[in-house]
Amino acid sequence: MHWWKSQFPDESGPLDILCEPMSKLMHRVRDPLRGQQLRKLYQHRPRQCDGMRVLKDVLNKQLHKYPDGVEHTLLLGAIAGATWTADRAHLQGLRTVPQCQYREGCENVDEDHLSWRCSAWEVVREPLAMQLVQLAKGMPWLREDPKDWPPCQRLCCLPPVHMFADVKEEVVHQFVEQQLAMFYRVLRMR
């Protein structure tokens, strides 16, 4: 191999720095980097990220629809299980109480409360949540009620490996797209 050719992990062939057009070159560099980031995330949180091995391409395709840095960061944080909540701020001594600041009498704000239960975000969450429930009906391993979903799926959009077995790829893409859109809208409103 010559100095102007390089081989990246997950690449089928060598990368020709001198001859390939810049747009193709950038795409071929970004894809392995995204894969590397997902592998690091999986190694860091294997229990939460079990489905990532199966959904790597689906997640990359859906995340690519959010080119803005803020949007992308919010979703990567949700997928990584790193959404900043009042509960976490309270545990770190940055808030005096872990309760919801948006609704009086709400419970402690953790990821589940923020994404699924807080009535402050019901307007943006419910239409997408109803669509997720409809899509869940087509998945044999996933119960219709989001309360019964595994935490990795419910809170991070990362299902256990077996969950999307024998499900049409189109349905998987729709499901992931809806759940990420819901997470994004709730996090952005906050």
Q: pLDDT of 15-31, one tens digit each?
A: 677 777 777 777 667 66
Given a cut of 90, is residue 130 above it in pLDDT? yes
Q: What is the DSSP string of 47-58?
A: TTTTTHHHHHHH
Distance CA 147, CA 29 (A): 39
**pLDDT score of 174:** 87
Distance CA 36, CA 44 (A): 12
Reported confidence tier of residue 44, pLDDT bands at 50, 70, 90: confident
**pLDDT score of 128:** 92
Global pTM value: 0.68
- pLDDT over 70, % of the chain: 80
Residue, of 84 and 43, whose pLDDT is higher? 84
Q: Which amino acid is at 42?
A: Y
Distance CA 97, CA 66 (A): 33
